[in-house]
Structures are given as structure tokens and as C-alpha cells.
Amino acid sequence: MQPGLYHILFISGALFFTGVYGFLTRRNLITMLMSIELILNSVNLNFVAFNKYVWPGKMDGLFFTLFIIAIAAAEAAVAIAIIINLYRSHKSIDVENAEDLKY
Amino acid sequence: MTGSDIIFYILAGLTLGCGVLSVTTRQIFRAAIFLLFSLIGIAGIYFWLDYQFIAAVQIVVYAGGIVVLIIFSIFLTQQAGEKLPKQRLDRKIFSALAVFSAFALAMVQVYQHSFTAPAGEQPVPTVKDIGLKMLNTENGGYALPFEIISMLLLAALVGCIVIALREKL
């Protein structure tokens, strides 16, 4: 069967819910961040697939993907700065140990 | 089944398999490496779709930037060779159940809808088209979001430095 839009939608949907599963089951902040990266990537894949198969003459999906990649990079950097700061004050990056916002 | 189809299925298997392993393995360093392969698989799918620029950006930003950042933060915050603690079984079961039913619901909705592709062969946008549209200030151009993204990156850069700054005691 020729791969098309539905195949890519299946992949991106499966990847999205894999990320959601990881986000629900993991209790370590870095692995939760990895799950978020998987979710963002599945959304990017969706945008690119719709741009390719439904509006091939336009470029809006491509630009949304580029901007999401830029925002994801900024978000990952800020999240890791917060995680390292949390590790300094709590000596752990488990969410169960980070119960107080103020240290 | 042509060679192109086989390449697509290999890339899809790589992406999904490494994604699942990345959220289930108990060794955090392996999780980061599986995430790297999953992101490379997605870049391969972008190449397969003929969007070379997006694929290059994906490899440069994700494989070259974010995964390296994650691996460094693992080195800074984890003890070597230590496994993540086991999760409670009921939490795993209920998460898997919720996720699987949501996935099934979404896929049923997607397969019931028929997307209409436009007739005729459309040109694949080149890097030149993307660059011209990115800095176009007329209607439909992306100059303003481009500038806003650059401000956001600057703010994130300064914010990271401020957050991670060690306080003088």
C-alpha cells in the first residue's frame, strides 16, 4: 500500500500518545522533558504532512514547524536551567520530592 | 511495494520503536539515546517528504542541540549507572489504557474523514521560497513572527543565565 497522509497521521498520533504515556508514568523531570519533545515532534510531523498532502502549493505548515522548533529549543533550555537549579536546592529531580515552590 | 515505500516503513518503525523505548526504558541515558534516534527518524521522514530544509533544521536543532543539552543535564544531575525507580503498576496500567483509548478515538476520527488533495502536481517549496517568504513584510509574509521569535530566543537566553546563576552566599 502506497504510504500517504493517513500513514503519517498514524505515526504522528502514535508518537503523540507515546509522549503522553511517558509524561503520565515518568516521575523524573528530565524524562518528562523528553516526553514533551516527543509530543512537539509529533505535532510538527502533522503540520508538515498536511502541508505536503492537502495544501502542497503553500508553505504555512512549514513555517509553523520552523517556529515550533524554535520555541521548543527555547523551552528546553529554560526547562533544563530550572531542573539544574532544582537539583542544586533539593539534590534530586524527582517530582515527588519537589513539593515546595519556595526553597 | 517500491523502494521508497520500504524506506518509509523502515523510518516509521525506527521512529515509533525508539519513541516507545525512550519512554519505557529504566536507564535514563538510554532513554536520551533512543530519543535521539526517534528524532533522526522524524528527520528521515521529512527527507522522504522532500522537505530538505525542515529535515536539516530538525537534525541541527534537535539532534545537535536539544539532545546534547539533555545528555549534559543528565550528566550533571544523575548518579552514573543508577536505574530509575520502578513505577507503580496501577499507574502504568491506567496510563496505558487512557492513552490507548484516546489514540483509538483519534484514529477512528481521522480514518472517517476524507481529506481532499488538490489535483495536479504542485511544486515543492525550495529554500529560496522559504527564505523569501520568511522575510516578506507584505500580506502573507512571516517577517513579524520571525522578529518575535528572535526576541523570544533572546529572552530565553537571558532567562536561562539568570535562573541557572549560582547565588553568592
| Domain boundaries, given as residue ranges, for chain A | 5-90
Q: Residue B89: which CATH number?
A: 1.20.120.1200
Q: Architecture of domain A5-90 in CATH?
A: Orthogonal Bundle (1.10)
Which among B19, B102, B117 has CB closest to A54?
Answer: B117
pLDDT tens digits, one per residue of A53-94: 888 878 888 999 999 999 999 999 999 988 888 888 888 888
Chain B residues in contact with A96 by the CB 8 A cut-off are none
Shortest CB distance from B129 goes to which of A10, A59, A87? A59
Output B92 or B164, whichever has higher pLDDT. B92
Per CB-CB distance under 8 Å, the chain B contacts of A35 are 23
Per CB-CB distance under 8 Å, the chain B contacts of A27 are 84-85, 87
For chain B, the domain total comes to 2
In a domain, B148, yes or no: yes
Instruction: Give the tens place of pLDDT for each residue, B107-136.
Output: 999 889 888 777 777 778 888 888 888 888
d(CA B37, CA B35): 5
From CA A39, how far away is CA A20, in angstroms rounded? 7
Complex confidence, ipTM:
0.91
Statement to judge: residues B83 and B135 lie in one domain: no
Which runs of consecutive H residues, i.e. helices, occur in chain B? 3-24, 28-48, 52-58, 67-77, 89-112, 127-134, 143-164
B133 to chain A: closest CA residue: A59
Domain span at residue B89 reads: 1-99
Q: pTM, whole model, 2 decimals?
A: 0.90
